[in-house]
C-alpha cells in the first residue's frame, strides 16, 4: 500500500512534509487556501499531480470561506484566490488544470445556492484526489507491459505516490510491473538540488519492498555505459502538444544518455499534464529557484560566499528522445501531435 | 597567484584540508609516510597530480626514516612503504608514477651513502612538486589557444591549483586564457558526491577573480541545449594508450552531452597521467568509495537507512568523445595511439 501524501478530513487537508523525509514523518494540517499556497510554494507538497490535488483543496477551502451574497461576487473573489494558488509555481500545468476545473465547476453550478455550491466544490476536490490514484493505476497497467520480465529501471526525481494522489506515475508503472510478477530493480538518481530521488523515491520504494539502489545524478551515464540499465521512466510537469516533456532538471541529460546507449526512455503522466495550448516545449515556463538550494545542504555551506549560482528547477526533453508517453488512456509513441490530441479528446471517466 | 595545496618546509609537508574548504582553511602538517598515506586515502589531498606530489613527499619521508645498514635492506623497506602509499587510491596513475619515479631514483643512486641518498630522494620530491606547476603553465599555453576570445567554459570536478602542485590542469588552461586577455566565464559542475566543483573550483576561481557560476551536475545538459556553453575542459586521473580518459564520475555524461550539442570536449593532463601500459580504458581500475558520501551531507542524512548505494568515484570517457588532450608537450587530437606515444617518448625537462 503506497502512501497518500494528501489526506482530507473534516475541513482539513493533512500533508506529509516532504522536505523532512526520510528523517522525519511530519504531517501538517492546512485549513485555508493561503496555507495550501505556501505548502506548494515551499515544497511541503511537490510533484505535478500532487500539486494539482493540493490546489483543488486550496480552492475548495477558499470557496468555503468566501462571504458573498451572490454568485458574481463569489466568482470574482474565487478567481482572486485561485490566482494566488496559481502563482505559487509556474511549470507544472496540473496546478492550472486543477484550478481551471474548479472554476469551471463553479460556473457550471452557478444556479446552486452558495452553500450547496461550496459543497459541490469540495466534492470536486475530493474527486480530483480520488481520480488521480485511479488514473495512476490505469497508467501502471498500460505502462508495465513495456518493461521486460526482469530488468533494471532508472528513474529521476520522484514521480511516485508522494508526487500524486497515490500510487505514482513513473513509480506507479514500476509498482504495476512488480504486481504483475516482474523482477524489477530500480536505480534512483538522487536528484539535486532537492534530493527527491534520495529522500523520496528511495524511501517510498523501500517501504514497498521494491529493490532500489541510490546513485548520484552524474553516475547514470556510467551505469548505462556498463549495460546496467534496461529502461528509463520519469514523470512530467508539463507536456506540450508535440510531445516535448518538461520535467525535473536533469531529465533531459538522462534522455540524451539513454538515446546514446539505445535504452528506451519512457514518460508516465496523466492527460492533465498534457498542455495542448503549447505547440512545443520552448513555450513552457521554467521555474528558477533559490540559490541556497544549490549552495547549502541542511545547515552546511557547500560553496563559497557570494558565488554566482544558476538553479533552474526543470528542463525540457524534446519529443524525439521520448520512446513513449504513458497516459491513463493508453500509450503514445511516434507521432505525438496526433496521438496526444486524440488521447486528450476522448472523454473518459473512471 | 593560485594556491599551492602542498607546501614543504623543514621536514614537514603542510597540506590544506580540502574536505573543509571553502568554510575553513585548515592546514595539516605531515611528517611521516603513514600520515601522508592517510591524507591521500581520506582526501585531505586529492586530484591526480597533487596525489602524485603528496606521494613523492610520503616516499621521501619513508626513506628518511628507514634505519638500514645497506642499500638492499633500504630498498626492500622502501618498497614496502611505497606499497602502503600506493594502496591508498587505485585510479589516479600519477600516484604510481610518482612512487615508481622515487624508487627508480633510489636504484639509480644506490652507490650513494644512505644519508646522501635520502637527501637525493627529498630533492626528487621537491622537483616533482616544482615541475608540476611548470608543467601546468606549459599546458595552459598549449591549451588556451583552443578557447575562443570570449566564451563560457564548463568544467567538472576540480582540476585546479588544488588538484596539482599549483596552477591547475583544466583550470590552468582557463587561467592561461584569462592571462592572455580572453574573456572567459566558467560554469562549475558541483560534482557529487564530494562537491569538488562547489567547494574547490568555485573557491579557487573566485579567489583569482575569474567569473564562475555554480550549477548542479544535472543542469549541464540544459545549459548546453540553450547554447550557453562554448567548450568543456576537464582533468584526468588516468589516460590509456588509445586516449580513453578516466576522470571524476560524471565526466563521461558531460562528454556525451557535449558531443550531442557539438561542443568541444577537452582534457588537460600531464604526460604522467598517460598510462601506455593500458591499451584502453576498460583496463583502468575504478575506485568505489564509501556509501556515506552519497547518503549523508555533513551531519544530514539524505537517504533512508539501509538503502543500497552505488558510489563509483570515476568513469571512463572513450577517446572518440575527446576533442583533444592537452599536455605540457603539446596537444593530441584524433589518432591518440600514435600521438600520445610520441608525446610520451619525447624526453623533456623544464
The answer to whether residue A1 scores a pLDDT higher than 80 is no
The minimum CA-CA distance between B226 and chain A, rounded to whole Å, is 10
Residues from chain B that touch A225, judged by Cβ atoms under 8 A, are: 252, 315-316
Residue B43 lies in a domain: yes
Coil/strand/helix, residue B291:
coil
B292 and B317 share a domain? yes
Question: Which CATH number is A228's domain given?
Answer: 3.40.50.10470
Predicted confidence at residue A298, as pLDDT, reads 84
ipTM for the whole complex: 0.95
Question: Are A307 and B214 in contact (CB < 8 Å)?
Answer: yes
Instruction: Answer yes or no: are the C-beta atoms of B254 and B265 closer than 8 Å.
Output: yes
B239 and B110 share a domain? no
Interface probe with A: pick from B157, B188, B304, B315, most Cβ of A within 10 Å: B304
Residue B118 lies in a domain: yes
What is the Cβ-side half-sphere exposure of residue B343, based on CA atoms within 13 angstroms? 28
The stretch B98-118 carries a mean pLDDT of: 98
B179 and B86 share a domain? no
A302 and A193 share a domain? yes
Interface probe with B: pick from A204, A209, A304, most Cβ of B within 10 Å: A304
The answer to whether residue B350 scores a pLDDT higher than 90 is no
Residue A350 lies in a domain: no
Residues from chain A that touch B19, judged by Cβ atoms under 8 A, are: none
List CB contacts of B202: < 8 A, sequence separation 6 or more: A303, A304, A307, B22, B188, B212, B214
Q: Of these residues, A208, A237, A275, A315, which one is catalytic?
A: A237
Residues from chain A that touch B294, judged by Cβ atoms under 8 A, are: 190, 198, 214-216
Question: Are B198 and A302 in contact (CB < 8 Å)?
Answer: yes
Query: What are B124-152's pLDDT values in tens digits?
Result: 999 999 999 999 999 999 999 999 999 99
Residues from chain B that touch A309, judged by Cβ atoms under 8 A, are: 213-215
Query: What are A200-244's pLDDT values in tens digits?
Result: 999 999 999 999 999 999 999 999 999 999 999 999 999 999 999
B64 and B164 share a domain? no
d(CA B250, CA B247): 8
The stretch B89-105 carries a mean pLDDT of: 97
The stretch B217-222 carries a mean pLDDT of: 98
- Is A262 at the interface with chain B, CB within 8 A? no
B130 and B144 share a domain? no
> For chain B, what is the radius of gyration of the CA atoms?
20
Residue with cell 558541483: B190
The minimum CA-CA distance between B215 and chain A, rounded to whole Å, is 6
The answer to whether residue A173 scores a pLDDT higher than 70 is yes
Instruction: Report in angstroms the alpha-carbon separations of A226 from A15, B282, B346.
Output: 40, 10, 35
Report the residue from B304, B306, B315 with minimal CB separation from A222: B315
The stretch A69-98 carries a mean pLDDT of: 97
B183 and B122 share a domain? no
Shortest CA distance from A260: residue in chain B = B256
Residue A21 lies in a domain: yes
- Work out how many domains chain B is built from and give that number: 2
> Which DSSP category does B295 fall into?
H
The stretch B174-190 carries a mean pLDDT of: 98
Sheet bearing B212-215, strands edge to edge: A308-309, B212-215, B183-189, B150-155, B231-234, B265-268, B324-327, B330-332
Sheet bearing A245-248, strands edge to edge: A274-275, A238-240, A245-248, A314-317
Predicted confidence at residue A347, as pLDDT, reads 52
The minimum CA-CA distance between A313 and chain B, rounded to whole Å, is 9
Instruction: Answer yes or no: are the C-beta atoms of B121 and B112 closer than 8 Å.
Output: no
Q: What is the mean pLDDT of chain B?
A: 96
The minimum CA-CA distance between B5 and chain A, rounded to whole Å, is 17
B189 and B311 share a domain? yes
Which cell is B299 given? 551531519
Report the residue from A192, A203, A298 with minimal CB separation from B218: A192
Sheet bearing A330-332, strands edge to edge: A330-332, A324-327, A265-268, A231-234, A150-155, A183-189, A212-215, B308-309
Query: What DSSP element (H or E) covers B119?
Result: helix B114-144
**Cα torsion for B255, B261, B264, B266, to the nearest 10°?**
-20
Residue A126 lies in a domain: yes
The residue out of A137, A152, A181 marking a domain boundary is A137
The stretch B184-198 carries a mean pLDDT of: 98
Report the residue from B212, B295, B299 with minimal CB separation from A308: B212
Question: Are B300 and A297 in contact (CB < 8 Å)?
Answer: yes
Instruction: Answer yes or no: are the C-beta atoms of B239 and B275 closer than 8 Å.
Output: yes
Per the annotation, the verdict on A237 as an active-site residue is yes
> For chain A, what is the radius of gyration of the CA atoms?
20
Shortest CA distance from A261: residue in chain B = B256
Residues from chain B that touch A281, judged by Cβ atoms under 8 A, are: none
The answer to whether residue B348 scores a pLDDT higher than 60 is no
B130 and B180 share a domain? no
Query: What are B265-297's pLDDT values in tens digits?
Result: 999 999 999 999 999 999 999 999 999 999 999
The residue out of B103, B122, B137 marking a domain boundary is B137
List CB contacts of B245: < 8 A, sequence separation 6 or more: B234, B236, B238, B239, B251, B267, B269, B281, B316, B317, B319, B322, B325
Interface probe with A: pick from B225, B303, B310, most Cβ of A within 10 Å: B303
Query: What are A101-150's pLDDT values in tens digits?
Result: 999 999 999 999 999 999 999 999 999 999 999 999 999 999 999 999 99
Question: Are A310 and B203 in contact (CB < 8 Å)?
Answer: no
Question: Are B22 and A206 in contact (CB < 8 Å)?
Answer: no
Instruction: Answer yes or no: are the C-beta atoms of A180 and A64 closer than 8 Å.
Output: no
Question: Are B298 and A298 in contact (CB < 8 Å)?
Answer: yes
Strand partners, B6: B15
The minimum CA-CA distance between B295 and chain A, rounded to whole Å, is 8
Predicted confidence at residue B295, as pLDDT, reads 97
What band does A349 get if pLDDT is binned at 50, 70 and 90?
A: very low
The stretch A247-267 carries a mean pLDDT of: 98
The residue out of A109, A137, A165 marking a domain boundary is A137
Question: Are A217 and B218 in contact (CB < 8 Å)?
Answer: yes
Predicted confidence at residue B349, as pLDDT, reads 44
The answer to whether residue A42 scores a pLDDT higher than 70 is yes
Residue B1 lies in a domain: no
Interface probe with A: pick from B187, B219, B290, most Cβ of A within 10 Å: B219
Catalytic residue positions of B? 237
The answer to whether residue A192 scores a pLDDT higher than 70 is yes
The answer to whether residue B1 scores a pLDDT higher than 70 is no
The answer to whether residue A170 scores a pLDDT higher than 60 is yes
Residue A1 lies in a domain: no
A262 and A319 share a domain? yes
Instruction: Report in angstroms the alpha-carbon separations of B112 from A91, B50, B80, B105, B137.
Output: 73, 29, 21, 11, 34
The minimum CA-CA distance between A81 and chain B, rounded to whole Å, is 34
Question: Which CATH number is A32's domain given?
Answer: 1.20.120.420
Residues of B (53-112) whose Cβ lies below 8 Å from A:
none
Query: What are B79-91's pLDDT values in tens digits?
Result: 999 999 999 999 9
Report the residue from A190, A198, A219 with minimal CB separation from B249: A219
A157 and A40 share a domain? no
Predicted confidence at residue A177, as pLDDT, reads 98
- A87 C-beta neighbours (distance < 10 Å), count: 12
What band does A2 get if pLDDT is binned at 50, 70 and 90?
A: confident
Residues of B (275-294) whose Cβ lies below 8 Å from A:
294
Residues from chain B that touch A214, judged by Cβ atoms under 8 A, are: 294-295, 303, 307-310
Instruction: Answer yes or no: are the C-beta atoms of A3 and A162 closer than 8 Å.
Output: yes
The answer to whether residue A346 scores a pLDDT higher than 80 is no
Query: What DSSP element (H or E) covers B270?
Result: none
Shortest CA distance from B300: residue in chain A = A298
Q: Which residues of B86-100 are buried (b: 16+ CB within 10 A; e: fewer)?
A: bebbbbbbbbbbbbe
Report the residue from B187, B216, B253 with minimal CB separation from A257: B253
Residues of B (13-52) whose Cβ lies below 8 Å from A:
22-23
Residue B53 lies in a domain: yes
Interface probe with A: pick from B194, B211, B212, B222, most Cβ of A within 10 Å: B222
Predicted confidence at residue B298, as pLDDT, reads 84
The answer to whether residue A247 scores a pLDDT higher than 50 is yes
Which is it for the CA torsion A272, A274, A278, A281, positive or negative? positive
Predicted confidence at residue A150, as pLDDT, reads 98
A92 and A185 share a domain? no
Residue with cell 485511479: A134
Predicted confidence at residue B11, as pLDDT, reads 95
Strand partners, B232: B154, B265
Q: What is the mean pLDDT of chain A?
A: 96
Domain that holds residue A273: 138-345
Question: Are A218 and B256 in contact (CB < 8 Å)?
Answer: no
Instruction: Answer yes or no: are the C-beta atoms of A82 and A102 closer than 8 Å.
Output: yes
The residue ranking higher by pLDDT, A212 or A300, is A212
Report the residue from B216, B221, B252 with minimal CB separation from A193: B216
Amino acid at each position: 500500500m503506497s502512501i497518500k501524501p494528501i489526506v482530507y478530513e473534516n475541513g482539513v487537508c493533512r500533508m506529509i512534509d516532504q522536505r523532512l523525509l526520510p528523517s522525519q514523518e511530519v504531517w501538517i494540517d492546512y485549513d485555508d487556501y493561503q496555507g495550501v499556497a505556501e505548502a506548494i510554494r515551499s515544497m511541503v507538497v511537490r510533484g505535478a499531480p500532487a500539486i494539482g490535488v493540493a490546489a483543488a483543496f486550496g480552492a475548495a477551502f477558499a470557496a468555503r470561506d468566501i462571504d458573498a451574497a451572490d454568485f458574481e461576487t463569489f466568482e470574482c473573489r474565487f478567481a482572486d484566490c485561485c490566482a494566488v494558488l496559481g502563482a505559487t509555481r509556474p511549470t507544472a500545468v496540473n496546478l492550472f488544470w486543477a484550478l481551471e476545473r474548479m472554476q469551471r465547476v463553479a460556473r457550471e453550478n452557478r444556479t446552486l445556492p452558495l452553500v450547496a455550491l461550496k459543497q459541490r466544490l469540495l466534492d470536486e476536490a475530493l474527486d480530483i484526489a480520488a481520480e488521480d490514484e485511479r488514473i495512476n493505476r490505469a497508467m501502471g497497467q498500460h505502462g508495465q507491459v513495456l518493461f521486460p520480465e526482469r530488468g533494471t529501471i532508472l528513474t529521476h526525481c520522484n514521480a511516485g505516490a508522494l508526487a500524486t494522489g497515490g500510487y505514482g506515475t513513473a513509480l506507479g508503472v514500476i509498482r504495476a510491473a512488480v504486481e504483475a510478477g516482474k523482477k524489477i530493480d530500480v536505480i534512483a538518481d538522487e536528484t539535486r538540488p532537492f534530493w527527491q530521488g534520495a529522500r523520496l523515491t528511495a524511501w517510498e520504494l523501500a517501504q514497498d519492498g521494491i529493490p532500489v539502489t541510490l546513485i548520484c545524478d552524474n553516475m547514470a551515464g556510467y551505469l548505462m555505459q556498463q549495460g546496467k540499465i534496461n529502461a528509463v521512466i520519469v514523470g512530467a510537469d508539463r507536456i506540450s502538444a508535440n510531445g516535448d516533456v518538461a520535467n525535473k532538471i536533469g531529465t533531459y541529460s538522462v534522455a540524451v544518455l539513454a538515446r546514446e546507449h539505445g535504452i528506451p526512455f519512457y514518460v508516465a503522466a496523466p492527460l492533465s499534464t498534457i498542455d495542448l495550448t503549447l505547440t512545443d516545449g520552448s513555450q513552457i515556463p521554467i521555474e528558477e529557484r533559490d540559490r541556497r538550494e544549490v549552495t547549502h545542504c541542511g545547515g552546511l555551506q557547500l560553496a563559497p560566499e557570494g558565488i554566482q549560482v544558476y538553479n533552474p528547477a526543470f528542463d525540457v526533453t524534446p519529443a524525439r528522445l521520448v520512446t513513449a508517453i504513458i497516459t491513463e488512456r493508453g500509450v503514445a509513441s511516434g507521432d505525438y501531435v496526433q496521438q496526444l490530441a486524440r488521447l486528450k479528446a476522448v472523454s473518459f471517466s473512471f
